[in-house]
Each structure stands twice: as C-alpha cells, then as structure tokens.
Amino acid sequence: MASKLERNERKEFVVRPTIATDGLAAYRDAFEVAFGNEADFGMMVKRYSKLGSNGEPLPSSRYIGADRIPVTGSPEKADIHTAHIERQNLNLRMGNRRYTRRSNGFSKTLLNHERQLALWIMYHNLCWMPRPSRPRRDETGAGSKQWIKRLPAAMAAGLETRLWEVEDLLALTDAFTTSKREIPDNDNSDAQVDAATTSFVDKCDEASLLYAKCDSPAPTHFVYHSHVHHSTKVHAANCCNCRGGKGKKDAKKPSSGEWLAFHSLEAAEEAAAALQPDRNSMCNVCLGSYRTLGYRHAGSSRQSSAA
C-alpha cells in the first residue's frame, strides 16, 4: 500500500494516510516496516469478559467493548475502527457466490477466479448504487436525522461521472475477448500456418476463424474449436477422437464446433492459442499423458497426486 500512494517530489505522501487495524500484534511491526513515521496509525483493541493465561479470549467469553488506541502520529479517534473494511468483506461475500464458505461455488482455476472477481469489482464500483447511510451523530447525540444519499464508489471518488449499466461491462468484456483472440502478425515465427494448405479469415462476428481446405498434402494434426465451450484442443490426425477431422461420430459439419487442419504440431498449437488464448489444451489420448502412461496409470497418478 505504501508504494501505491501518491508522493511529491520530496518523496513525501501528498496526503498523510491514516491506518487503522484491529488488535493483532503483528500489525505494529508491519506498519513500522511499511510506513515508519510517515502515517498515522491506530488500533482498535477489543475487550472480552474472560481471558486465558496467554491473554487470548476464551471460547466462553463475551465481547464487552473496544478501546481506540493511537499508536503512531495523531490519528483522529473517530477514524480508528475497522468498520469500512469489515463492511467491504461482507459485501464481497454476500455479492459473490465464490466466496461463500463450505460450498461448491468456488473457482476451479485461478484464471476463472481472477476474471470473475474483476467483473464483480467493476460492477460493485461502477454499477452498484449503495443504499442511503444512517446519519452520524456526535458524542452528545445531536445531529441530522435525515438519511444520507450515496453514489457509486467510482462516482464518489471522482473517477466517473455517470452510473454504468451491465451492458457497458458486457461491451468491455467483448472487446477484451476479441483482442485476446487476435493472431499476432509475426512473419519470422517458426510456427506460421502453412499458407498453401490453411488460411484464416475474419468472420462477420469477428470472434472466430474459417479454414480453407486443400486436397493435398494430408494434414498431420487437427484443432477442434468448440463454439459451445469456447475452447480449442489439438489432436493428431490418427487420434481416435479426431479420425482425420471427422470426429467420433463422423459428422461432416459438427454443430458445436469445427475441425481445423494443419501440417505441423507447431502450427496447430499456435492456432489453438490464437483462437482461445486461455482455454486451449492438448489431447491426452494422442499427445498427452494417456499416450505415454496409459489411461489407467495416468488416472491413478492424478488421484495419488491429488491425495
């Protein structure tokens, strides 16, 4: 955090930050390492009715209050609390299925988790309208009784001037997906697709590619591009799942995707990565672990490694 805050030409913070944490002792050392005396630091230490010999609260103890203790600098006592970060944690868990505890809603891959979290952060900051907040009263109990209307976080921070719609996020997502699928123009690449037998042209939706077939020579590898699962998989021409681009059911034109022919493994791998940069793989039967280890041995190896 200290490296991301704005500093002036004298390497000083433009705005002196205030850091507030709970009573975990490790936060003191972490603050000194990161900020030194360049920030205000306070801790909200909770008090419990029963403590053990090591000072930790017992399972049967009850929360009886908290002390707001200034540690470094002169933080405002009203700012020494963890309500904002705890509320953000609650928003994340309530609005994001993948952060629900003890469920099967978790992400199966790190990439899916990062992308889904990024979409939620964009929606939460740009599209979500917070409910009005309760009026804040002073120590005497005086203050306004009218609820305070709030703006989306991006508008409140001055980063945006309008409320975004979900359609705006979908437009950004489509643009990102299109840019990821663009084939780089590199004439010096060793894995260039053979122009005499294979060519790629843009479709009207600018999201997929067509293959122009040639009669000879015979392709050595095929890439199955699934339009349903948005994935690609590289096969050898003699693979039982490929069968020379016919597939298992010998369909002339599969309804869920298309077979693309290539004359080298390198060209097939490059095209598979270009079509689906994040969801491309190799066929285990003809090119992967099943071919070298056998189906039963590869399955048992995966189970033992998972255990």
Each residue's pLDDT tens digit, 104-155:
888 888 888 998 999 999 999 999 988 887 776 666 666 667 777 888 999 9
| Cα atoms in the Cβ-side hemisphere of radius 13 Å centred on 87 | 7
Q: What is the pLDDT of residue 21?
A: 95
pTM: 0.57
Compute the chain's Rg from CA coordinates: 29
Mean pLDDT for all residues in the chain: 80
pLDDT above 90 for 245:
no
- For residue 86, the SS3 value is helix
Span 238-248, mean pLDDT? 85
Instruction: Write the DSSP symbol of residue 110.
Output: H
pLDDT band (50, 70, 90) for residue 257: confident
Residue 149's nearest CA partner among 122, 169, 129 is: 129
pLDDT above 80 for 209:
no
CA-to-CA dists, residue 228 to 137, 168, 225, 281, 300, angstroms: 56, 24, 9, 16, 30
Rounded CA-CA distance 71/81 in Å is 13
Residue that has been written with the tokens 């409320």 in this structure: 163
pLDDT band (50, 70, 90) for residue 202: very low
Q: What is the pLDDT of residue 230?
A: 83
Contact 257, 213 (CB under 8 A): no
pLDDT in tens, 36-58: 999 999 999 999 999 888 888 89
Q: What is the pLDDT of residue 100?
A: 85
Q: What is the pLDDT of residue 302?
A: 46
